[in-house]
Chains A and B, each alone.
Chain A
Amino acid sequence: MKEAVAEEQNEVVREKAKTSITVSALMIAAAAVVFSVTSDKYIFLKSNGLYMENFSFDWASTVLMLSGFLSLTAFVLFVVTMDVLDRLLNKFAVGRQVDMTNYFYGYTSNPKYIGMLCLVMSVCTLVSYHSAGLAAYGLGLFLAVGYRYWFPEFILPSREGLQRVSHILLQGLRGLLIVAPLIVMIVDLL
């Protein structure tokens, strides 16, 4: 019976891999677009003599280089992820199918995760080339909305009071993450 359950789970993983391949393809395209835009803007900066070739800090060229580096990293990681997910659909030796599928699927977890981080950061860094405040707002929104997803909250009856207080504090903090960039943008405009 255990083998039957494992086989069923194996099929679920393979089915999910098919969807993940599509998602990875979209991410590869997004990373390529960000890299293309970044390199275009960087070449424009250099060709127009706007690039500062000395030790002093130059915001525009730094964020463009960072964005290019991050988007290229995301591109490579998603290509690897897609290749591994594709391999997951292969037919393996009898008795090794479940192990191999689990191994390959588990392997995609980290590249996919780090790739996503790099892609989000590359997009935000590219936005910061135009408006740093807007980019900070994007990241703040991502943090505030994602927090409940990364750290699920369960209220324990025995510690309800304490948890309510921490909940209110965190709600305030999350709100601050979104509002702060907007305030700073207004301050910068004044």
Chain B
Amino acid sequence: MNDTVPNETALQEEVQLLLQAKPASLLHFGFFLISAVLVWGSVTFVPDFLRLEPLGRQNLSQVLFVHYGTFFVLLWGAILFFRTGTNRCDGSCDR
């Protein structure tokens, strides 16, 4: 019957795993924020430098949207990439 009750030790292990992952997640968040700012900078200044039609001249909202979109896709990509390798999902859990 012990197999049917929730395993206390396993639960504590899961919490410990989450706690260990916390500094890493902060790091990811910071990394992706910086990368998003860099992308924003590139999108705004590089086309101008290359004398192409600059996105920055469209308007600030469009630049912000490109920045947010890149950030969003990178963040979700990171979650997918890191969790695929680290979680111990046996098919019964979901992201």
Chain A residues in the interface with B (C-beta under 8 A): 1-2, 4-5, 8-9, 12-13, 16, 55-57, 59, 101-103, 105-106, 109-110, 113-114, 117, 120-121, 124-125, 128, 131-133, 135-136, 139-140, 142-143, 147, 150-154, 156, 166, 170, 173, 177, 180-181, 184-185, 187-188
Contact = CB atoms under 8 A, between A and B. Distances in A.
What 8 A-B pairs have minimum CB-CB distances, sorted nearest first?
A: A102-B91, A133-B61, A132-B61, A151-B25, A132-B62, A132-B65, A139-B68, A106-B91
A128 B65 contact: yes
Contacts of A180: 64
18 contacts: A1-B1, A4-B3, A57-B53, A102-B92, A103-B91, A128-B62, A133-B64, A136-B64, A136-B65, A139-B65, A139-B69, A140-B68, A143-B72, A151-B29, A154-B15, A170-B26, A170-B29, A181-B64
Kindly name the residue among B73, B91, B92, B94 whose own CB sees the greatest number of chain A CB atoms within 10 A: B91
A152 B83 CA distance: 13
A185 B88 CA distance: 43
A109 B90 CA distance: 12
Contacts of B33: 173
Given A109-B94, A140-B68, A187-B60, A117 B29 contact: no
Contacts, number: 114
A184 B4 contact: no
Contact of B89 (A56, A106, A131): A106
B69 A121 contact: yes
Contact of B22 (A125, A153, A181): A153
Contacts of A156: 19
Interface residues of B, number: 40
A114 B90 CA distance: 20
Dominant SS at the B interface?
helix
Contacts of A56: 52-53
A5 to B, nearest CB: 5
B18 interface: yes
A188 B55 contact: no
B65 A135 contact: yes
B80 A114 contact: yes
Interface of B: 1, 3-4, 15, 18-19, 22, 25-26, 29, 33, 47, 52-55, 58-62, 64-65, 67-69, 71-73, 75-76, 79-80, 84, 89-92, 94-95
B14 to A, nearest CB: 11
A124 B65 CA distance: 9
B61 A136 contact: yes
Nearest to A1: B3
A154 B64 CA distance: 32
